[in-house]
Each structure stands twice: as C-alpha cells, then as structure tokens.
Amino acid sequence: MEIDLKGAAIQIDEQMVHTKAEHTWTVLLERIREARESAMEAAVAAAREAGLPERGSAFRALLENCALTRKPDQVLGAIHYLRDVEGISDSPPRVVNDLFTDAGIEPPGNLSLYLNRLKERNFLMVPSGKDDKNRFAILTPEGQAHLDKRSNA
C-alpha cells in the first residue's frame, strides 16, 4: 500500500482518514506485527542454530553474576537485558515473563507493581512520547549504578 504524501496537509489527512475508515490501516498494522514476530522467532532460531547461548541461560547468568536474588532487582535486570543485550525497546509483560520462564525462574506476577516501584526509586523511567507506558521503560543512570554496585558486591 502506498500513501501519497504530496499535496496540502488537508489532502494527506483526508487520504489517511479514508484509509483508516476502510480498515485497511488496521489490517496493515496487524501484518506488520505478524512480520515482526516472525522475524523475532527467526532470529531466535538462527541464534540457537549458531550455537549462541540461549536467552534464558544468558539472562540467568546475568542474574547470578550480579547477585540479583530479590524480585525487584531481577525485574530491573530483565529490563537491562532486554534493552541492552537484545536491543528490544518495547517489552510488554508477556516478553518480560517469557524471559523469566526461559531462565527457569518464576515470573514476577504483578509486573506493573515492580516496574512502578522501580520508577519511584528512580531506577527506571519511560522516555517522553511513550504515554508513560511501562513496556517502554529504560534504566536511569541510578538504575544502572544499582546494577553495577550489585555486580561488584
């Protein structure tokens, strides 16, 4: 599908309204999501075939090396792992829980509670423009320092 961005803003807006009204937009977004999920699954499969460490064992090693035994620290470690190791910037609860499951560790359960408490401690923040959604949380310098302090303990 092509979207013509030539013309006046009102013409472009009308074209977008028309596209959205036909539900074409929703179908296209769903296809993009499916393609992204397929690409992620293919990347994981390729990593396994290449002999790279499985994400679960790599995450478990991070938790053990940093002595992250408390669940809030483990959640902070999970966000760090997803952002800095896997390069994932959007991690809904399912993604975080899957990481714990892959590592053979019980998932946090009420993930929002942990994320909100980590934000209150200024260990996590949500970048502007992300509607304060926890799935986009990143470590603050204080959060990174906390993990660094744990790994040096």
Same domain, 75 and 133: yes
pLDDT at 106 (0 to 100): 93
pLDDT at 124 (0 to 100): 94
Cβ atoms of 94 and 33 within 8 Å: the answer is no
User: Long-range contacts for 105-114 (Cβ within 8 Å, ≥24 apart)?
Assistant: 105/60, 105/63, 105/74, 108/71, 108/74, 108/75, 111/75, 114/71, 114/72, 114/75
> pLDDT tens digits, residue range 56-107?
888 888 888 888 899 999 999 999 999 988 888 888 889 999 999 989 999 9
Q: Please state the domain count of the chain.
A: 2
Same domain, 78 and 22: no
pLDDT at 73 (0 to 100): 93
- CATH number of the CATH domain containing 139: 1.10.10
Same domain, 67 and 141: yes
pLDDT at 96 (0 to 100): 92
Cα–Cα distance measured from residue 134 to residue 118, given in angstroms and rounded to the nearest whole number = 11
Residue (of 65, 79, 72) closest to 120 by Cα position: 72
Same domain, 99 and 38: no
Q: Tokens 């959205």: give the residue.
A: 20
Cα–Cα distance measured from residue 53 to residue 32, given in angstroms and rounded to the nearest whole number = 28
Domain range for 123: 53-153
Cβ atoms of 100 and 58 within 8 Å: the answer is no
Same domain, 43 and 93: no
What pTM value is reported for the model?
A: 0.64
Mean pLDDT calculated for residue range 41-68: 74
pLDDT at 8 (0 to 100): 83
